[in-house]
Amino acid sequence: MNELRWFTWLFPLLFIVHDMEEIIKAKQWCKKELKQFIPLPITPFGNTKSTSGLAVGVFEELILWILATLLGNITGFYGLWYGLLTANIIHLVLFHIVLLPLSYRHYVPGEVTAWLTLFPCCYILILAQRILNYSAVEITLWVIAGLVFAFGNMKLLHKNIHQLAGLAGESE
């Protein structure tokens, strides 16, 4: 279990590496009012005009991922962490590797680091499964919980990106 305790901290670290690319590039990218070739029901980055708003949202997510990691390492209860890591992997593949690049047909912020962080995240998930030995039912339940939590949180953050910018003292 000690090996897992060390590897669990790679999830928040890889998350922030990926999201730093988004923070740095999203505002400039969104200002270009890029044409979608395949319309999607989502707006990348909440269609932000605010780097601060995006950064506050990423900070909030990072705190949640750190808390899930702490919970796992302190109590040995890794279910939430496992589900959130899986949700992050699905997010990287679904949005940054498949849907957004296909929809816009060119670079989308987060695409490069999605590829760079995907494989280490998958390795961590495989390692965790070997150590935790979750059953198919447990995996299903934790993945569903992680997806609902992570994507619900992301939807809430995207919806309130302008208020988050205000929290950071930035007006659009």
Write out pLDDT tens, residues 17-41.
Answer: 999 998 898 878 877 766 777 777 6
| The pLDDT value given to residue 10 | 96
Find the DSSP H helices in the chain: 2-8, 10-31, 51-75, 79-91, 100-104, 111-132, 136-159, 161-167
* Cα–Cα distance, 107 to 16 (Å, whole number): 19
Find where tokens 């047909």 sit: 105
How buried is residue 169: exposed, middle or buried, by Cβ count under 10 Å (0-12/13-18/19+)? exposed
Q: How many CA atoms lie within 13 A of 114 on its CB side?
A: 20
State residue 109 phi and psi, 5-degree precision.
-50, 130
Say whether pLDDT at 13 is over 80: yes
* Cα–Cα distance, 95 to 73 (Å, whole number): 29
Taking only the tens place, the pLDDT of each residue in 60-82 is: 999 999 999 999 999 999 999 99
| The pLDDT value given to residue 33 | 63
Chain-wide mean pLDDT for the chain?
88
Q: What would the two tokens of residue 95 be?
A: 């949005």
- Eight-class DSSP state of 98: I
As a whole number, mean pLDDT of residues 3-15 equals 94
Let me know: does 118 contact 92? Beta carbons within 8 Å. Answer: yes
Max Cα-Cα span within the chain: 48
| The pLDDT value given to residue 49 | 64
Share of the chain above pLDDT 70, in %: 88
* Cα–Cα distance, 35 to 168 (Å, whole number): 29
* Cα–Cα distance, 29 to 40 (Å, whole number): 17
Split at pLDDT 50, 70, 90, the class of 170 is: low
Let me know: does 150 contact 84? Beta carbons within 8 Å. Answer: yes
pTM (2 decimals)?
Answer: 0.88
Q: Which residues contact 41 (CB under 8 A, 6 or more apart)?
A: none
More confident: 161 or 28: 28
> Domain spans of the chain?
2-167
